[in-house]
Amino acid sequence: MTSSTSPPRDLERNLIWIERTFTTRPATEQLLGPERESGTIHPLDYDAALDFFPGIHRHYNTIGTAVGIAVALAARRPAWTTQRLVSTVFFGAFTGRAVGTVFAVRSFYSFFRSIHDPAGFATAMDNVKHRLDTPSSIHAQVPVPDDQTPSIRQFFIPFWQLFTDIITPEPQETATAWGKIRTVNANQSQQSSWDLIRQSHERARIPRPDQASTSSDNRFREELTRSEEQASFDALIDKERNMK
């Protein structure tokens, strides 16, 4: 028997939610199927919902907008300016969409008045909304593994470990070894440079064997020449003395 009373307030408040949730027939069957099996919703109301929710009323807004634009374009005059034409088309689209919304709401109220068990239907809507808002149906409970059963966490690799080879720095031991090698090479190069400078300076100061013999020969010749000159000078003085 069809109820002539007004629909419950819960259905009126959830009108937009109902329109956005029950968009297709498969979605309606999936959401209202458990409520029909549990006896919350009347079977006739379930069948009526399957036929109504995906119905033509969902497109009343689009149809009204298209009709409003068509009427505005049909009413234009050659003397109209572009601004007036745009304003008329916008007004026609807005009016057509508003009229379509009114007809869609009226169709919902007609459906709510035709259901056999308004209270059960409202309860079914609340249950569906509660299931959609509760994530318990998505996240399944995982049994706690025993000692022989490997934990599920062992089969999952943390995200950051996927990039270990890329972001992990070199071991500290390797870095230290390379640092020591570079330090030793730098010290050896620096010490070798200073040693070369000192050794070259010392080599310049130390005479070679041939240079030593040459310098001694020169010194002997100088002393011999000096002795000969001194002897000649002494002989010249003695000669002058004898002449006197």
Residue-level pLDDT at 223: 72
pTM over 0.85: no
180: in domain: no
Q: 52 or 158: whose pLDDT is higher?
A: 52
CB 121 within 8 A of CB 45: yes
Task: Tell me: do 25 and 132 sit in the same domain.
Answer: yes
Range with the poorest average pLDDT among 72-86, 97-111, 179-193, 203-217: 203-217
Task: Tell me: do 112 and 200 sit in the same domain.
Answer: no
125: in domain: yes
CB 108 within 8 A of CB 57: yes
Q: How many domains does the chain have?
A: 2
Task: Tell me: do 122 and 208 sit in the same domain.
Answer: no
CB 2 within 8 A of CB 116: yes
Q: How many residues does the chain have?
A: 244
Task: Tell me: do 126 and 206 sit in the same domain.
Answer: no
Residue-level pLDDT at 231: 78
Q: Is the pLDDT of residue 2 over 60?
A: no
Structure-token pair, residue 103: 């007809």
From the number of C-beta atoms within 10 Å of its C-beta (0-12, 13-18, 19+), residue 1 rates as exposed
Q: What is the 3-state secondary structure (H, E, C) of 153-217?
A: HHHCCCHHHHHHHHHCCCCHHHHHHHHHHHHHHHHHHHHHHHHHHHHHHHHHHCCCHHHHHHHHH
**Structural domain boundaries enclosing 220:** 196-244
Identity of residue 60: Y
128: in domain: yes
As a whole number of angstroms, the distance between CA 193 and CA 201 comes to 12
In tens, the pLDDT along 179-237 reads 666 776 666 555 555 566 666 666 666 555 555 556 566 666 777 777 777 777 777 77
Task: Tell me: do 132 and 202 sit in the same domain.
Answer: no
76: in domain: yes
Task: Tell me: do 128 and 200 sit in the same domain.
Answer: no
As a whole number of angstroms, the distance between CA 57 and CA 66 comes to 15
Task: Tell me: do 130 and 200 sit in the same domain.
Answer: no
Task: Tell me: do 208 and 129 sit in the same domain.
Answer: no
Task: Tell me: do 123 and 36 sit in the same domain.
Answer: yes
Q: 82 or 133: whose pLDDT is higher?
A: 82
Q: Is the pLDDT of residue 50 over 60?
A: yes
Burial 134-159 (b: 16+ CB within 10 A, else e): eeeeeeeeeeeeeeeeeeeeeeeeee
